[in-house]
Amino acid sequence: MKIAVLPGDGIGTEIVAEAVKVLNTLDLKFEMETALVGGAAYDAYGHPLPEATLKLAMDSDAVLFGAVGDWKYDKLDRPLRPEQAILGLRKNMGLFANFRPAICYEQLVGASSLKPELIAGLDILIIRELTGDIYFGQPRGRRVATDGHFPGAEEAFDTMRYSKPEIERIAHVAFQAARKRNKRLTSVDKANVLETFQLWKDVVTEVGQQYPDVALDHMYVDNAAMQLVKEPKRFDVVVTGNMFGDILSDEASMLTGSIGMLPSASLNTKNQGLYEPSHGSAPDIAGKGIANPLATILSAAMMLRFSLNQEEAAQRIEAAVQKVLAQGLRTGDIYSEGTTKVSTREMGDAVVKALG
C-alpha cells in the first residue's frame, strides 16, 4: 500500500502530521513518501505541482493531501498559484468523483447554526462530479463583445458542458453509494434552464433503470440549496455537477458545525484516490498549533476504506474520533463551554490513544 503524503501549505503540514501519526498506529504496513506541493513547492522549485510530485501521486495507491494556498501568492500568474496543484492532480489522475460526507456528531449538535432537532443525527453524502462542467469547459476567455446587451464592451465567458459518458460514470458511482446506504438518491440539476443539465437529468434517469432498488428523485439546485437548510435530513445521497456540488457541499458542511470536521475523497476509475479535508490552508491560524486535525484524520479513514480496502481500520479510526469527542476534547473551532480545549497535536495524540 503506497501512500503519497502531500502536506502543502499553512495548516496543511500540521494536520497531515497528525493523520500520519494515526496511520502509523495501525497494525498495517504502508509505504509513505512525502513531497512538496502548492506554495511550498513553488518556493522550492518554482512550480506548485512539480513533475516529481505528480509522478509520486500517480504511482501511489492513494494521496493524503493537506491544503494549498496563501495570500502571499495572490500576485502570481494563475498557472503558478498554489491552487493549481490540486486542480492539476484532479485532472491528471482523472479524479472525477468527489465524496463529501456531512455527518453531525452527537457531541457537536450545539455547534451548528441550525436548530438541534433539524441536524441531530444528520448523515448525508454529497457526490460531486469533479473533472467536468463549467470549471473545465472550453472555450473560455475574455474578448470584446460583438453581440449581447453591450456590443463593443469587454466581456468574459466560460462554457458549461458534460458528455453522456461523463454523466453515466458519476451516476453509477452515486447509485452504488446509495445502494450501500439507505437506497435513496437525489440528483440535483437545473434542467429547467440549462441544456447541460437536461442531459444530466435524462442520463441519470436512464442509468437509474439499472438500479431499481434505489429510489431516485430530481431537484433543481436552487430548491436543493433551500431544502438543505430547511430540512437537511430529507437527503441521503446527493449527486450533482462540479459547480453546484462545490456550492452545495460547502453549504452542507457548515450544517454540521465546523469545516474542521469534514473529510473528502476524490476517486478515479481505478479506485485510486486523493483524500483531503474539505477546508483550505487557513493562513489566519497557520503555525499556531490550533487547527482541527480531525477532518484530515477522517480523510485518512476514507482512504483506508476506498483505496486501500481496509474497512475495519477505517471504522476503528472513526470510532476513535467519536471517542475523543465524547471525552470532551475540542480544538478551538468546535470548542464550547464545559469542554476541554486542546491543540492540534493533543487532538492527534488523543485519537492515537483512543485507538490503542
**DSSP string across 291-341:** S--HHHHHHHHHHHHHTS--HHHHHHHHHHHHHHHHTTEE-GGG--TTSEE
Shortest spacing between CB 148 and Mg ion, in angstroms = 29
Residue given cell 476517486 in the structure block? 267
Amino acid letter, residue 281: S
Tell me whether residue 230 is exposed, middle or buried, using C-beta atoms within 10 angstroms of its C-beta: 0 to 12, 13 to 18, 19 or more: exposed
Shortest Cβ 247–Mg ion spacing (Å): 8
Binding residues for ligand NAI, per CB under 6 A? 11, 15, 67-70, 83, 86, 259-260, 276, 279-285, 291-292, 295, 333
Q: Are strands 273-277 and 263-267 parallel, antiparallel or unpaired?
A: antiparallel
| Cβ-based nearer residue to ligand NAI, 267 or 291 | 291
Task: Kindly state the smallest distance separating residue 201's Cβ from ligand NAI, in Å.
Answer: 29
Decide which of ligand NAI, Mg ion, none touches 285; Cβ closer than 5 to 8 Å per partner kind.
ligand NAI
173: partner contacted, choices ligand NAI, Mg ion, none (Cβ within 5-8 A by kind): none
b/e map of 309-337 (b: 16 or more CB within 10 Å)? ebeebbebbbebbeebbeeebbbbbbbee
- Look at residue 279 and give the partner it binds from Mg ion, ligand NAI, none, a contact being a CB closer than 5 to 8 Å depending on partner kind: ligand NAI
| Residue whose CB is less far from Mg ion, 95 or 352 | 95
Helical segments of the chain, H only: 12-25, 39-45, 51-58, 83-93, 116-119, 164-180, 195-208, 221-230, 242-255, 294-306, 311-326, 344-355
Instruction: Give the integer Cα–Cα distance in Å for 241 and 189.
Output: 8
The nearer residue to Mg ion, 248 or 291, going by C-beta atoms, is: 248
Binding partner of residue 346 among Mg ion, ligand NAI, none, CB under 5 to 8 Å per kind? none
The C-alpha atoms of residue 167 and residue 182 are separated, in whole angstroms, by: 22
List the catalytic residues: 135, 190, 222, 246, 250
In the list Mg ion, ligand NAI, none, the entry touching 246 (Cβ below 5 to 8 angstroms by class) is Mg ion
Residue (56 or 126) nearer to Mg ion, CB: 126
Tell me how far apart the alpha carbons of residues 351 and 163 are, in angstroms, rounded to a whole number. Answer: 43
Residue ranges of the binding site for substrate: 90, 100, 128, 222
Q: Known binding site for NAD(+): residues? A: 280-292
Least distance (Å) from ligand NAI to the CB of residue 84? Answer: 10
- Least distance CB 152 / ligand NAI (angstroms): 34
Residues making up the annotated binding site are 90, 100, 128, 222, 246, 250, 280-292
190 or 279, CB closer to ligand NAI?
279
